[in-house]
Chains A and B, each alone.
Chain A
Amino acid sequence: MKKYFKVWLQLAHISFAEQLATRFSSVLFLIGKTARFVFFLVFLFSLVNRTGGLAGYTKEQVIIFFLMYNLVDISTQFFFRGVYFFRQKVVSGEFDFYLAKPMNPLFRIMAGYTDFLDLVTLAALAVYGAWFAGQSSIRPDPMTAILLLIMLAVSFLIALAIHIIVVAIGVITTEVDHSIMVYRDLTSMARVPLEVYSQPVRIFLTYLIPIGFMITAPAKALLGLLTPPTFLFSLLLASCFLFLSLRLWRYALSQYSSASS
């Protein structure tokens, strides 16, 4: 366990050094990501100020959904950013080195490119979120807080499972970028409460590819809208999904034929 932490720290350090070397880009990326958040927030505010709510939720709740989306999205990106660079590793054959080392290759793949600037964004998000929540009528009690933390953990596990699946597909077909992009597009659909979408779409996003669940469940927990059945279901869903993803990963490894030059 300690070894993994140390390796992760070193990888992150390298990644950070690279960012220093490309300061200009890194700053622009930071600005870009912040802009993306601010723009959509402005849009959302403009929208719900006029409409008073959306799909049965109040103004405040809609914003909370959006803030939760960002929290989950940025945190998962923080931990799994390596997936975005994976294709290159497979094609170049570097992946073979990962397999040959005494370390879980999944860890190396996903945790190898941590972007510390995401911590900046996360901190800013936390500050704003706290301010907004303080202003709102939301008063979480200890029970809600615990539920929230559990659901965040569940989200994390689902995200982990999805990323493992993406990586597994990448190993079999070397097609990573498309799966990841589709994943991002689907998650961005959850910037607003899922009730916005028609039934078939909602079912698809909740049960088939539990992205919607992953994003909105923590928000629901915070807002006290989580029902016991949903809660239990989410635990079940997360564990099944994770289990499936690991099986897929093992299958992918067995099918792997390394890249020739």
Chain B
Amino acid sequence: MNFPKELRYTKSHEWARREGEKVVCGITEYAQKEISDVVFVEVPKRGQAAEQAKAVAVVESVKAAFDIYAPMSGKVSQVNADLESRPELVNQDCYGQGWFFEIEASDPSEWDKLMTAEEYEKNIQNESVK
């Protein structure tokens, strides 16, 4: 599975990419495969406050719904409106066109609390052993 090195990750399977002050977020390839066919994404509202590790979005498959947690705190500055009509983008291109939202980070130090690609991969392996 692909976990790009430049991204950081959460235990709850979100990824984050730093773009200056801003952080773009989505869900990982592992998460996308576990959920299987994404049929709907409820993205947060622009301007909404996000708190690290608190739910801000919801992803739905046919038979389940999953909370998506903010990798970092701050204000939601952009959301991916394409997901409304094309939720399948999450399955097709989870690190690209399937991004969820962008956060204007209020506490840059939180970045360092996130996992590196290597740590994340290890974490998944441990999880699947359990």
- Is chain B a partner of chain A in the same complex? no
